[in-house]
Structure 1
Amino acid sequence: MDRMEQLLNQWLWKEHYWLPSGRSWQDVGDDAIEGARRPLPRDLLLSLPLALGFIAVRFVFERAVALPLSRALGVFDRMRVRVPPHPKLEAFYLQKKKHFSQTPWFWDHRECWRGHPRQPMTEAQYWYYLLELSFYWSLLFCVSVDVKRKDFKEQIVHHIATIFLIGFSYCGNYIRVGTIVMLVHDSSDFLLESAKMFNYAGWRKTCDSLFVLFAVVFLVTRLIIFPCRVVYSTLVESLDFFDPFPGYYLCNTVLLVLQALHIFWAYLILRMVYKFVFLGKVERDERSDEESEVEEEEEEEGAGVEEESYWESRRGPLKSNPVSLANNCVLNNLTNQRRNINSRLPKAR
């Protein structure tokens, strides 16, 4: 065990890879600030059982709660719980709302690098990291058993890049900028899932409204805030506080991979916006609502029917009734298929 620990410290946890020049792991683990957590790599092991817990909760909830409840009550029922007033919490909020002593780095991203890596981590950040990492582990574990979507490969790359970034930022105590990256991504995802739920429930207007809101939030956060604020801070502003090191290049490379995925998904979302504007409604989720193989087969079949109907229309005058024309096209298609099958059968002697 001692020999293995020496090899890990020599190759994997070498300070030159993870930390800026002149910094050491003692700076990350320094307990000079009392009552503050320090990120330790072994903390991330807790994310694996938590990921299995997410999968178990999802499995039990979908089969034991969601389906029976939706069948019994209907998807159109809504329950709004009004939070009772709490005088102590209200007084605490009024007292502390103007004092953002723990989060100046949320607004001024240069504060993400000031004093790094000797930066404390709050209890909320600790659990936010563990739950976020566990959630993406559960998505990666379940992606092979879920329905294969059109963006299957992109989702795999996204999950792996996200898991790496969360783990790397935690081990190197890049907690502040890592929290901002996760918040930017989480700000729009729940809107898309909500729009899907209302779409399945038949609430078309609510679905369309949520989709428009999701598209706006996604495009603003992923194409403006993320590259212009977050990636700019990690690429440029961080160099005012330390010189480039291997971890700097690796972290920014993965962030740029995420940005490339954002551009790909933004293209699909803009296609949906085009359909929403010119067709009047969102037909489906361009990103992942249908299986790619099924969609390709339907496109091929649709192209064959269109070609057949075109040549049939050239042989004679078009009928005014489109239903009759469609039926004729289908019948002709079936007749040609039967002829082709009969021609392939060997003649009986």
Structure 2
Amino acid sequence: MAGILAWFWNERFWLPHNVTWADLKNTDEATFPQAEDLYLACPLAFCIFMVRLLFERFIARPCAVGLKIQASGPQKAQPNAILEKVFTAITKHPDEKRLEGLSKQLDWDVRTIQRWFRQRRNQEKPSTLARFCESMWRFTFYLYIFTYGVRFLKKTPWLWNTKECWYNYPYQDFLIMFLHHMATISLITFSYVNNMARVGSLVMCLHDAADVLIEAAKMANYAKCQILCNLLFAMFALVFISSRLAVYPVWILNTTLFESWDIVGPYPSWWVFNLLLILLQLLHSYWSYLIGKTAYQAVSKGKVGKWNPLHVSKDDRSDIESSSDEDENQTKQKTHNSATNGTNKPHGSNGFLTGTSYPDEH
């Protein structure tokens, strides 16, 4: 085990040349990040979770009630032991063959069984009020973190001159950055271990700006303020695309790839850090494409739906499925389209705002 730890914490991987872990030990004159500090993330995460519960219960929920957002969920499915067993043990989305078998077994028509499964799926999804409370919490959290970051960074020289991120690296004080760094995990954990605190703070602040707007748009959507929702989403799209396709590569990647090369020089963990940042840029491009596609569909169809393009995988808990009549009409239309077009592929969605957040890639 000692050999494995020695290999993992090899100074020649993590640190620039001529720097050792002993050089980064805390002294009376200087304080540096210590890897063991990351253990504090667990109790801090629990505390934040408790704050979230209190916030949603005593602040977000009254706000939702004041906006007349309903707490009641969708209509519950009629109790049926056979269908319940299929739903819980086999499948929540029975295929045509299974539907026909259940129809014969229960002496129900297929549409009634389809309606039962739809209502049963909806029972497991949170109400609009619950999703509003979640978005209000994330909006408040992101707004606080972003405001905190801006208030701190505007006083620092490396906000205006990114070369300052690398002068005297890694002998840089970090105490004022501690709380900000605990707000996320992924790249920040890496930057924390080898004390890339300055550039890490720039990455975080840049990403937080769009998070505030998307959660505000979700709240407006749940409150049925469609004009405000559309406006906030348009603002979100502009901020997201401009900050992550323009500012991020010109400001962040330029300093991590080129300015740091000139001032500090490359070393093994430097390559890993930059590869992660480049991967992040690729994700930015993909999510920007989805946002643009969704915005185009929303405008072309004249309305905004409830799908979040930033959540790259489908989340069954997000959208309450359509009413029975509406669903039957959609089924008929889909069957007609399949027969005429020779395809059974789903049509594109024109919505974007679900109850879930997109991947946090800070």
Mark yes or no: TM-score above 0.5: yes
Return the offset for 1:289. 10
Map of 1:112 onto structure 2:
165
**Structure 2 matches for 1:192-271, cutoff 5 A?**
192-271=214-293
- Listed as ranges, the gaps of 5+ residues in structure 2 are 70-150, 320-326, 343-362
Cα distance in 2 between the residues matched to 1:58 and 1:181: 25
Map of 1:71 onto structure 2:
65
Cα distance in 2 between the residues matched to 1:237 and 1:22: 19
CA deviation vs aligned residue, 1:299-324 (integer Å, no higher than 9, x gap): 9875323234789xxxxxxxxxxxxx
The residue matched to 1:234 in structure 2 has which SS?
A: helix
Return the offset for 1:63. 4.7
From the two aligned structures, give the one with the greater helix fraction. 1
Return the offset for 1:246. 1.0
Give the aligned length: 251
- Listed as ranges, the gaps of 5+ residues in structure 1 are 76-96, 134-162, 312-349
**Alpha-carbon RMSD:** 3.3
Cα distance in 2 between the residues matched to 1:278 and 1:101: 41
The residue matched to 1:236 in structure 2 has which SS?
A: helix
Larger Cα-atom Rg: 1
Map of 1:272 onto structure 2:
294
Q: Which runs of 4+ in 1 moved over 6 A?
A: 298-301
**Structure 2 matches for 1:148-227, cutoff 5 A?**
163-227=185-249
Q: 1:306 is aligned with what amino acid?
A: N
Map of 2:309 onto structure 1:
286
Map of 1:127 onto structure 2:
179
**1:306 pairs with 337, 340, 344, which one?**
337
Q: TM-score, normalised by structure 2?
A: 0.61
Shift in alpha-carbon separation, 1:114–1:289, aligned structure 2, 3 A: closer
1:19 maps to 2:15: yes
Shift in alpha-carbon separation, 1:112–1:300, aligned structure 2, 3 A: farther
Return the offset for 1:102. 5.2
The residue matched to 1:22 in structure 2 has which SS?
A: coil
CA deviation vs aligned residue, 1:209-228 (integer Å, no higher than 9, x gap): 11111111101111111112
The residue matched to 2:304 in structure 1 has which SS?
A: coil
Shift in alpha-carbon separation, 1:267–1:108, aligned structure 2, 3 A: same
State the percentage of identical aligned residues. 36
Q: 1:113 is aligned with what amino acid?
A: W
8 Å contact kept, 2:25–2:31: no
Cα distance in 2 between the residues matched to 1:290 and 1:64: 32
Shift in alpha-carbon separation, 1:63–1:223, aligned structure 2, 3 A: same
Return the offset for 1:283. 2.3
Cα distance in 2 between the residues matched to 1:209 and 1:7: 57
